[in-house]
Structure 1
Amino acid sequence: MNIGFLGLGKLGLPVSLAVESKGHKVFGYDISKQTIDDIRNRKIRYREEWVDKYLPKTKLEINNINELVKNSEIIFVPIQTPHEPQYEGVTRIPDKRIDFDYSYLIDGIKDLSAAIEKNGEDKVVIIISTVLPGTIRSNIKPLLGNHTKLCYNPFFIAMGSTIRDFLYPEFILFGVDDEAAADTAQKFYKTICDSPFYKTTIENAELIKVSYNTMISTKISFVNTIMEACHHLPNTNIDEVTNGLKLATRRLISSAYMTGGMGDGGGCHPRDNIALSHLSQKLKLSYDWFDSIMMQREKQSEWLANLIIENSKNRQINILGKTFKPETNLILGSPSLLLKNILLEKQKKVFSWDPYIDEKYEAVCEKYNWTNNKISHVFFIGTKHPDFIKFKYPKNSIIIDPFRYIYSVKDSKIIRIGDNTTS
Structure 2
Amino acid sequence: MSAVYNDAASAAASALAPPASDVATVAVIGMGYVGLPTALALRDAGFPVVGIDISEQRLDAIRSGAVDLLDRDRPRLTEALRSGLLDLTSELRALAAADAVIIAVPTPVDDDFAPDLRAVHAACGAAVMHARAGQTIVLTSTTYVGTTQELLVEPLTERGFTIGEDIHVAFAPERINPGDALWEQATVPRVLGGATQACAEAAAQIVAATASKLHVVSSPEAAELTKLQENTFRAVNLAFANEMAAAAGFYGVDPVEIVEAASTKPYGYLAHYPGPGVGGHCIPVDPYYLLAPLRDGGVPSPVTESAMVAVAGRPAAVADRALALTAERGIADAGARILLVGVAYKPGVEDHRESPALRIAGRLARRGAQVSYHDPLIPTVDIPGAGTQHSVVAPDAADYDLVVVAVVHPEHHYAFLADAEHVLDATYRTPGGQFRHAL
TM-score normalized by structure 1? 0.82
Deviations 1:37-64 (A, max 9, x none): 23333x1343445331311111312354
1:309 to 319, 323, 327: 323
1:302 shift after superposition:
3.5
1:206 and 2:224 are equivalent in the alignment: yes
- Partner of 2:401: helix, strand, or coil? strand
Q: Is the CA contact 1:277–1:289 (under 8 Å) kept in the aligned structure 2?
A: no
1:349 aligns with 370
2:168 aligns with 149
Alignment partners' CA distance in 1, 2:222 and 2:397: 58
1:272 shift after superposition:
1.6
Shift in CA distance, 291/190, structure 1 to aligned 2, threshold 3 Å: closer
Q: Is the CA contact 2:103–2:140 (under 8 Å) kept in the aligned structure 1?
A: yes
1:103 shift after superposition:
2.3
Query: What does 1:13-162 correspond to in 2, within 5 Å?
Result: 13-41=36-64, 43-48=65-70, 50-58=72-80, 59=83, 60-62=86-88, 64-70=91-97, 72-84=98-110, 86=111, 94=112, 98=114, 100-117=115-132, 121-144=133-156, 145=159, 146=161, 147-161=166-180
1:168 and 2:187 are equivalent in the alignment: yes
Alignment partners' CA distance in 2, 1:301 and 1:36: 33
Q: Which amino acid aligns with 2:342?
A: G
1:357 shift after superposition:
1.4
Alignment partners' CA distance in 2, 1:30 and 1:287: 36
Q: Is the CA contact 1:15–1:162 (under 8 Å) kept in the aligned structure 2?
A: no
1:89 aligns with none
2:347 aligns with 326
Q: Percent identity?
A: 19
Alignment partners' CA distance in 1, 2:226 and 2:178: 19
Alignment partners' CA distance in 1, 2:29 and 2:301: 38
Shift in CA distance, 159/391, structure 1 to aligned 2, threshold 3 Å: same
- Partner of 1:76: helix, strand, or coil? strand
Shift in CA distance, 80/21, structure 1 to aligned 2, threshold 3 Å: same
1:364 shift after superposition:
5.7
Alignment partners' CA distance in 1, 2:422 and 2:397: 15
Alignment partners' CA distance in 2, 1:179 and 1:398: 61
Alignment partners' CA distance in 2, 1:388 and 1:414: 23
Deviations 1:259-283 (A, max 9, x none): 2222221011112223333233212
1:247 shift after superposition:
2.7
Deviations 1:211-249 (A, max 9, x none): 111101111111111111111213x22122112322334
Between stretches 392-401 and 242-251, larger displacement belongs to 392-401
2:265 aligns with 248
Q: Is the CA contact 1:402–1:416 (under 8 Å) kept in the aligned structure 2?
A: no
Q: Which amino acid aligns with 1:341?
A: G
Q: Is the CA contact 1:154–1:209 (under 8 Å) kept in the aligned structure 2?
A: yes
- Partner of 2:402: helix, strand, or coil? strand
Alignment partners' CA distance in 2, 1:162 and 1:7: 22
2:242 aligns with 224
1:7 and 2:30 are equivalent in the alignment: yes
1:261 to 260, 275, 281: 275
Q: Is the CA contact 1:274–1:290 (under 8 Å) kept in the aligned structure 2?
A: no
Q: Which amino acid aligns with 2:343?
A: K
Between stretches 285-294 and 185-194, larger displacement belongs to 185-194
- Partner of 2:360: helix, strand, or coil? helix
Deviations 1:168-201 (A, max 9, x none): 11x3111210322311222344455442423221
Q: Which amino acid aligns with 1:336?
A: A
Shift in CA distance, 341/275, structure 1 to aligned 2, threshold 3 Å: farther
Shift in CA distance, 106/397, structure 1 to aligned 2, threshold 3 Å: same
1:398 shift after superposition:
1.4
- Partner of 1:112: helix, strand, or coil? helix
1:153 shift after superposition:
0.8
Shift in CA distance, 139/190, structure 1 to aligned 2, threshold 3 Å: closer
1:405 aligns with 429
Alignment partners' CA distance in 1, 2:403 and 2:369: 14
Q: Which amino acid aligns with 2:364?
A: L
Shift in CA distance, 126/364, structure 1 to aligned 2, threshold 3 Å: closer
Q: Which amino acid aligns with 1:401?
A: D
1:392 to 416, 424, 430: 416
Shift in CA distance, 194/372, structure 1 to aligned 2, threshold 3 Å: closer
Q: Is the CA contact 2:242–2:274 (under 8 Å) kept in the aligned structure 1?
A: yes
Q: Which amino acid aligns with 1:54?
A: R
Query: What does 1:411-422 correspond to in 2, within 5 Å?
Result: 412-415=433-436, 417=438
Q: What residue ranges of structure 2 are gaps of 5+ in the alignment? A: 1-22, 382-389
Alignment partners' CA distance in 2, 1:30 and 1:337: 27
2:358 to 337, 341, 351: 337
Q: Is the CA contact 1:173–1:205 (under 8 Å) kept in the aligned structure 2?
A: yes
Alignment root-mean-square deviation, CA: 2.9
1:183 aligns with 201
Alignment partners' CA distance in 2, 1:300 and 1:199: 36
Alignment partners' CA distance in 2, 1:290 and 1:152: 24
Alignment partners' CA distance in 2, 1:207 and 1:347: 43
Alignment partners' CA distance in 2, 1:386 and 1:377: 26
Between stretches 51-60 and 240-249, larger displacement belongs to 240-249
Shift in CA distance, 44/228, structure 1 to aligned 2, threshold 3 Å: same
Q: Which amino acid aligns with 2:31?
A: L
1:394 shift after superposition:
8.1
